[in-house]
A and B are shown apart, each in its own frame.
Chain A
Amino acid sequence: MAQKPKLAMYWASSCGGCEIALVNLNEKLLDVDAHFDFMFCPCLLDTKISDIEALPDGSLAITLFNGAIRTSENEEMAHLLRRKSKLLIAFGSCSSKGGIPALSNLSSKSDHFGTIYLDNVSLDNPQGILPQTRTTAPEGELELPEFYERVRHLAEIVEVDYFIPGCPPEPHQIWNVVEALVQGAQLPPKGSTLGGGKSTVCNECAHRKENKTIKKFYRTYEIVPDRERCLLEQGIVCMGIATRDGCGALCPQVNMPCTGCYGPPEGVLDQGAKMLSALGSVLDIGSSKDLSDQQISGRIDAAIEGLPDFAGTCYKYSLAASLLGGKSR
């Protein structure tokens, strides 16, 4: 029997949700197994890194790489798996755009270490011990991966063949990609996004869209939304308008605003900037004729008071790949 092509899945800085999404293929996992030798996945299988290192370069047909690059270990694995894989696919929001871990780019490494190890009521660290990459112990030298200043997405480290968006990617979309690969379908140009649409979530959302003018923004706990109407039109910051479709508009369908996990739509450089652009357009502060600069600014500021954390809302999954990339130093 001819050898089946090898499939690998790796988690870098991630939560494990991407693996769960793969397992959510349910009985179709058997089809995956029929076509591939699923040989490396630390979350589900016991293959060791040394087994991967022992393979000739390019031996893995496909590697689904999830998670962002937070530590030197994440970076090492990205290089190793790039070398060993024919197709390296950034799987999920974290490896595609930075995801939730990249929100930490709004603070510095020393801020993080300060909060986690030094300055916190629940801490007991009188000597102010911080993690070191090398520590000498009686048993020998101990090594820890380096915690980088900034979280990066996979394409900042190595060449990525394709991107599958989502936090996590929807199982039916994963299956679409797997099926296309198994059937040897003509793939789009390298660097394209697979397993998603090209438009926005609004395209898939069944809510009724009328006139988009907003006088005041609400947070989800402040309002009981009309189940039929567009959430954004009701003043709830729904990211659907600046987010790639492909998920089936699952969140707005149950009246939860889209948080933007599928990343920016095709052709958009910066998801947060596009969301900002949309919000600025729909804000209704009345006529500004004959008002002074200060009066106009005051009205706008009063209307946007309900947006307490703009960066966290609009770059929830795409901060590492945003134009600013993180906090300026």
Chain B
Amino acid sequence: MTAQAMTNVGTPVSESFEPKIVGFLCNWCSYAGADKAGSSQTPYPPNVAVIRVMCSGRVDPQFILDAFHKGADGVMILACHPGDCHYKEGNQRAVQRYRILLGLLEQFGIEKERCKFDYVSAGEGEKFVRVITEMVDTVKGLGPLTLPVRAY
């Protein structure tokens, strides 16, 4: 995958914060979608560190919390569209965990926009770029995440 850095042209100085975002991408769909965006040389922000997983259902909520714990400002889980899971229902379990996680994050004072779940298929290179760009913009607007365990 060739991730071409998006230039900061036109970005106000106050938005110079570059968020660190961890993206868990399903091997069968979103990772191929990201590859498609890369091979068609569509530029997208370089802030997302991609971790390829065999299924979005493999994304243990511990991984997400650990990413925040270790310094991520945002976490994304990109899955196959409903009904298209390579393992039948992994993406459904992933979205179910995600919806519960949102309630948990709120209680911990973490904006729900910092954790995003979306569906990106292997053919949706453009959607991948759009989702990533939106996420980076959103997290940039929110600023860095401060957790008590790191701040203390």
Mark A residues whose CB is within 8 Å of B: 105-106, 149-150, 152, 268-270, 272-274, 276-277, 279-281, 283, 285, 287-291, 293, 296-297, 300-301, 304, 307, 309-312, 314, 322-329
Known: A273-B64, A281-B96, A327-B107. 10 other contacts (CB 8 A): A269-B66, A273-B65, A274-B62, A280-B96, A281-B97, A289-B82, A291-B82, A300-B99, A323-B65, A328-B147
Q: Is the C-beta of B146 less than 8 angstroms from some C-beta in chain A?
A: yes
Q: Which 4 A-B pairs have the closest CB atoms?
A: A280-B97, A325-B149, A289-B83, A323-B65
Contacts A280-B97, A288-B82 hold; do A324 and B103 have CB atoms under 8 A apart? no
**Nearest CB to that of A303 among chain B residues?**
B96
Q: Which residue of B lies closest to A314 (CB)?
A: B104
Tell me, in angstroms, the Cα distance from A310 to B145 when the chains sit together: 21
Question: Does B93 contact A328, Cβ atoms closer than 8 Å?
Answer: no
Residue B52 at the chain A interface, CB threshold 8 Å: no
Closest to B93 in A: A281
Cα separation A325 to B62 with both chains bound (whole Å): 13
Query: Do A277 and B148 have beta carbons less than 8 Å apart?
Result: no
Residues of A with C-beta under 8 A to B82? 288-291, 296
Q: Would you give the shortest CB distance from A124 to chain B, in whole angstroms? A: 32
B100 at the interface (CB under 8 A from A): yes
Contacts of A296 in B (CB 8 A): 82, 92, 95
- Assess the A307–B100 pair: CB atoms within 8 A: yes
| Docked-complex contact B61 and A276, CB < 8 angstroms | yes
B47 to chain A, nearest CB (A): 20
Query: What residue in chain A is nearest B69 (Cβ atoms)?
Result: A323
Binary contact readout B52-87 vs A (1 if CB under 8 angstroms, 0 otherwise): 000000001110111011000000000000110000
Residue of B whose beta carbon sits closest to that of A277: B61
Cα separation A314 to B96 with both chains bound (whole Å): 16
Enumerate chain B residues within 8 angstroms of A276, measured Cβ to Cβ: 61, 97, 100-101, 104
Contact status A285-B83, CB under 8 Å: no
Chain A residues whose CB sits within 8 angstroms of the CB of B83 once the complex forms: 287-290
Residues of A with C-beta under 8 A to B97: 276-277, 279-281
**Docked complex Cα distance between A177 and B96 (Å):** 41
Question: B60 — which chain A residues lie within 8 A by C-beta?
Answer: 273-274, 277
Return chain B residues, CB-CB under 8 Å to A297: 95, 99
A173 to B151, CA, bound (A): 36
Q: Is the CB of B151 within 8 A of A323?
A: no
Determine if A329 and B151 form an interchain contact, defined as CB atoms under 8 angstroms apart. yes
A296 and B61 CA atoms in complex are apart in Å by 19
Cα(A219)–Cα(B93), bound, Å: 23
- Shortest A132–chain B CB gap in Å is 22
Contact of A328 with B95 in the complex, beta carbons under 8 Å: no
In the complex, A290→B81 CA distance in Å?
A: 10
The answer for the CA separation of A126 and B147 in the assembled complex, in Å, is: 35
- Cβ contact within 8 Å between A324 and B93: no
- Chain B residues with CB under 8 Å of A324's CB are 65, 68-69, 108, 110, 147-149
